[in-house]
């Protein structure tokens, strides 16, 4: 039941639950993007007032868990609520769907104004002011996310540096296709695996593409489905991973900023002052390795016939960009 | 030269059709996948042109690095095993040069415009 009319029908009840018996759901449309979740935009009209909302829903309403690490939409909504209570910028959750809504696993959040497309944020004139302050703001946002009290969170998986090294090395070995640069990187990282100063809530996918940016800078962190408990340095580094710089390699933070600014913003907002550039570096190198393995995993969906699209085939050939970045980082050229 | 089309020319012809004729008539998801398909064919064309020389160079470097000859897949496996065991690392003479040259040849085929190529 991915039909527009079925979704529209389910949202009528949701609109009444959010805004009262007179409320109506209108202007429903599917948004592009979000391979692992369906994202729909709609308005709720009450009298002459109208407000924008986003429906985030498991594909076809069935929560299959698109990756082993995905926490599920109900848990995701709880994490977002706890993170907002701690002062994190995230879209407020307006409604978590129940069976009675007939929408399957889903929740509704406020539709915030802003841009998520990386190339626009990095290049377009309306974001020039935002780009100047974004690294610092991202640091501050992550400090708030990491300060979310553990006792306000739903149960989440623990996944630190060693757990992730083990998991991604196992996946890589399962492909039985040698990529010596990956072997070199796994060994390099294993020999230097950091012990986190403390473990915290980790967003897990904080990068350009998953953050909403307006003319004044960061609006919200989106896509919380990979949230877990682990090393906070992971979040400060994933946005620095070379593939997420969208070609602007000389600006390590997302192609727009400097690591010093990211860490300064983090510390100013109460983030752990023990986290330093060397720790960010380890996780950035690991990020490239992880993304390389993830590209091959996504290609696997093509090879097994689960997703026969040309896009899934092509992504298997993006692992080499991470190998190049790994070599440049391991030889001090990036 | 007249004769018959090479594999590279056939692939380039298909890519040109996809890009210039088919893609502009598509919308949404189909248009996106048509762009990806055009890019995929460009990879194949570059691999047909550059792949054999890259494989030959990689094979020669590996034979020198490992001190023994074999087929490419077997030598890659041997190198992987040595790196995992720590018998070779980034300080091993010739290793970093070999790995960098190999991956640069690959990215030249798969994504020649990738940002980090400027740092090589």
Report pLDDT digits (tens) over B13-72. Answer: 999 999 999 999 998 888 989 999 999 999 999 999 999 999 999 999 999 999 998 999
For chain B, what is the radius of gyration of the CA atoms? 19
Compute the nearest-CA separation of B51 from chain A (Å). 14
Residues B39, A248: C-beta atoms closer than 8 Å: no
Q: Examine the pLDDT at A204 and tell me if it is beyond 50.
A: yes
The verdict on residue B105 lying in a domain is yes
Contact A158, A229 (CB under 8 A): yes
Compute the nearest-CA separation of B84 from chain A (Å). 6
- Write out the residue limits of the CATH 3.30.200.20 domain(s) in chain A: 4-110
Query: Considering the domain A4-110 in this protein, what is its CATH number?
Result: 3.30.200.20
The verdict on residue B87 lying in a domain is yes
Residues A320, B77: C-beta atoms closer than 8 Å: no
Q: Per the structure, how many domains does chain B have?
A: 1
The verdict on residue B2 lying in a domain is no
User: A118-330 belongs to which homologous superfamily?
Assistant: Aminoglycoside phosphotransferase (APH), C-terminal lobe (3.90.1200.10)
Residues A328, B120: C-beta atoms closer than 8 Å: yes
- Write out the residue limits of the CATH 3.90.1200.10 domain(s) in chain A: 118-330
- The stretch A25-35 carries a mean pLDDT of 79
Compute the nearest-CA separation of B38 from chain A (Å). 10
**Quick one: pLDDT at residue A1?**
43
The verdict on residue B18 lying in a domain is yes
> CA-CA distance, A82 to A71, in Å (whole number)?
15
Residues B33, A309: C-beta atoms closer than 8 Å: yes
Q: Examine the pLDDT at A59 and tell me if it is beyond 90.
A: no
**Quick one: pLDDT at residue A63?**
55
Structural domain harbouring B54:
7-119
ipTM more than 0.90? Answer: yes
The verdict on residue B16 lying in a domain is yes
Q: Which residue of B has its CA nearest to A176?
A: B77
The verdict on residue B1 lying in a domain is no
The verdict on residue B113 lying in a domain is yes
| A334 vs B28, B33, B116: nearest CB | B116
């Amino acid at each position: 039941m991915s039909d527009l009319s079925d979704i529209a029908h389910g949202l009528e009840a949701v609109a009444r639950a959010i805004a009262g018996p007179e409320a109506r759901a209108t202007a429903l449309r599917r948004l592009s993007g979000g391979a692992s979740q369906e994202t729909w935009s709609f308005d709720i009209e009450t009298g002459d007032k109208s407000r924008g909302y986003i429906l985030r829903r498991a594909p076809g309403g069935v929560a299959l868990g698109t990756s082993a690490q995905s926490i599920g939409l109900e848990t995701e909504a709880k994490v977002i609520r706890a993170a907002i209570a701690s002062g994190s910028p995230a879209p407020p959750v307006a409604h978590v769907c129940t069976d009675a809504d007939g929408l399957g696993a889903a929740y509704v959040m406020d539709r915030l104004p802003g841009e998520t497309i990386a190339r626009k944020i990095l290049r377009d004139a309306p974001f020039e002011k935002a780009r100047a302050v974004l690294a610092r703001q991202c640091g501050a946002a992550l400090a708030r996310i990491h300060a979310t009290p553990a006792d306000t969170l739903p149960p989440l998986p623990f996944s630190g540096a060693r757990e992730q090294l083990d998991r991604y090395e196992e996946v890589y070995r399962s492909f039985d296709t040698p990529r010596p640069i990956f072997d070199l990187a796994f060994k390099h990282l294993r020999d230097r695996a950091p012990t986190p100063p403390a473990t915290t809530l980790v967003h897990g996918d904080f990068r350009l593409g998953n953050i909403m940016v307006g003319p004044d800078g960061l609006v919200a962190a989106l896509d919380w489905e990979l949230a877990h408990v682990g090393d906070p340095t992971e979040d400060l580094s994933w946005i620095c991973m070379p593939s997420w710089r969208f070609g602007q390699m000389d600006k390590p933070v997302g192609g727009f900023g400097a690591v010093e600014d990211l860490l300064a913003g983090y510390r100013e907002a109460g983030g752990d002052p023990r986290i330093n550039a060397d720790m960010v570096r380890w996780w950035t190198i690991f990020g490239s390795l992880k993304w390389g393995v993830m590209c091959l995993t996504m290609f696997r969906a093509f090879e097994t016939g689960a997703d026969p699209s040309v896009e899934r085939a092509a992504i298997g050939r993006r692992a080499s960009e991470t190998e190049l970045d790994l070599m440049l980082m391991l030889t001090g050229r990036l | 030269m007249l004769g018959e089309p090479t594999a590279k020319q056939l692939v380039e012809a298909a890519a040109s059709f996809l890009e210039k004729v088919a893609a502009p008539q598509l919308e949404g998801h189909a248009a996106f996948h048509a762009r990806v398909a055009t890019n995929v064919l460009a990879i194949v064309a570059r691999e047909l042109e550059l792949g054999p020389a890259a494989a030959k160079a990689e094979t020669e470097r590996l034979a020198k690095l490992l001190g023994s000859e074999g087929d490419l897949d077997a030598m890659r496996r041997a190198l992987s095993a040595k790196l995992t065991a720590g018998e070779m690392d980034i300080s091993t003479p010739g290793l970093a040069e070999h790995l960098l040259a190999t991956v640069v040849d690959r990215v030249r085929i798969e994504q020649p415009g990738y940002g980090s190529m400027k740092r090589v």
